[in-house]
Amino acid sequence: MSVAELKERHMAATETVNSLRERLKQKRLLLLDTDVAGYARAQGKSPVTFGPTDLVCCRTLQGHTGKVYSLDWTTEKNRIVSASQDGRLIVWNALTSQKTHAIKLPCAWVMTCAFSPNGLSVACGGLDSVCSIFNLNSPTDKDGNLPISKMLSGHKGYVSSCQYVPDEDTHLITSSGDQTCVLWDISTGLRTSVFGGEFQSGHTADVLSYDGSHHYVNTSEHIKSVSISASNSRMFVSGSCDATARLWDTRAASRAVRTFHGHEGDVNSVRFFPDGNRFGTGSDDGTCRLFDIRTGHQLQVYHQQHGDNEVPHVTSIAFSISGRLLFASYSNGHCYVWDTLLAKVVLNLGSLQNSHDSRISCLGLSADGSALCTGSWDTNLKIWAFGGHRRVI
């Protein structure tokens, strides 16, 4: 078979795939007769109301000297790890707002960090393409720096996101700019399985080539974030620069369980809904979306109209403990609190008093849902708590 012939067949196959996808899209649109907000309204639900004092900043964590890029809470204690462009990981005690560890990183360009479920170690990754694990209890060297206890190397691109598998301190999932997600065994430092990539049906550049609008020029297919289901730790979703989110089963690395289309820009952030059957995404197209993993349908778009043409990107999202609230931070400095049922913005954290001076880059809810931590480019982290007698939702 000659190369030309192969090319021809490849083209034809691509064409078929694209037309099938288009049909699938049409079919989905037909089936999509309502969304969450429409149904909730029909049921007479009223939106959550938020006074400006119902969510207040009660702690400011100062200490970083560069933009904060990522944060993560421990599962049981009130501790936070944050990663900043100043090349440091800082472990905070959220109660006293003091630092317990300041870890100087060998590579300053860090993008993500995570706390292990037992709270004994932290992981981080960044432009050095390596995911480094620090054991918080290991003795410091003579300069007062914590040594790296494990280096997970193998990615061919930057490590954009990492998360420990719930209740497993030895397993960690990373996402990377090399189109893959990897499940690591920390004790051996080896890859347990690789999701996506060149040879499997991972995130690929062709995904959007059928998109007639050509709204989004695909240049890469870097995976930006992962989220592991809390209820079923074998399932995780990844959000990618090809404007899709994919659901994976860690037992079947060869192909994604499902691919979720809908966004028109890089998917910057994915988070599982607390019940584990849905997940939310935040994207460069300025919208957040809610997808159902069982049906594969998009349930709701959270989009705020902006007057100007500049569409702010969604930088990070987080759900409240019940899922009723969706916190989403935007590149223009806003941080909306969405009522997920009625798709209404009930509060803008960015406009509250003593909010951050700059864009909020990362969000995280404490394990019990009582506090929200925001990390910002103004080098500070802030902890917000529900004020007064308000029930935690």
User: Which residues between 258 and 317 bind other proteins (CB under 8 A)?
Assistant: 266
Residue 179 Cβ vs other proteins, minimum distance, rounded to whole Å: 10
Binding of other proteins at residue 92 (CB under 8 A)? Answer: yes
Report the residue number, 216 or 260, with the smaller CB distance to other proteins: 216
Distance of CA 211 to the CA centre of its chain: 24
Smaller CB separation from other proteins, 102 or 120: 102
Q: Are 347 and 337 in contact (CB under 8 A)?
A: yes
Should residue 212 be labelled a site residue for other proteins when binding is judged by CB under 8 A? no
For other proteins, the closer CB: 265 or 276: 265
> Is residue 196 near other proteins by the rule CB under 8 A?
no
If binding is defined by CB under 8 A, does position 355 make contact with other proteins?
Answer: yes
* Residue in 78, 80, 76, 147 with CA at minimum distance from that of residue 113: 80
Q: Does 254 bind other proteins (CB under 8 A)?
A: no
- Indicate which single residue of 21, 25, 45, 99 sits in contact with other proteins (rule: CB under 8 A): 99
Q: Taking contact as CB under 8 A, which single stretch among the options 24-32, 147-155, 164-172, 292-300 is the one that binds other proteins?
A: 147-155
- With CB under 8 A as the contact rule, the residue among 135, 149, 220, 304 that binds other proteins is 220
Q: Which amino acid is at 145?
A: N
Name the 3-class secondary structure at 124.
strand
**Helical H segments across the chain, by residue range:** 3-31, 36-42
Q: How far is the CB of 298 from other proteins (least distance, A)?
A: 22
The helix/strand/coil state of 23 is: helix
Task: Tally Cβ neighbours within 10 Å of residue 380.
Answer: 18
Bridge partners, 173 (sequence order): 163, 183
Question: Looking at 17, 21, 35, 102, which residue binds other proteins (CB under 8 A)?
Answer: 102
Q: Does 158 bind other proteins (CB under 8 A)?
A: yes
Beta bridge partners of 239: 225, 245
Kindly indicate which of the ranges 40-48, 287-295, 334-342, 380-388 contains the residues binding other proteins, using the contact rule CB under 8 A. Answer: 380-388
**Residue 337 interacts with other proteins (CB under 8 A): yes or no:** no
DSSP 286: S
Is residue 320 within the footprint of other proteins (CB under 8 A)? no
> In angstroms, rounded to a whole number, what is the distance separating the alpha carbons of residues 212 and 65?
45
3-state secondary structure of 218: coil
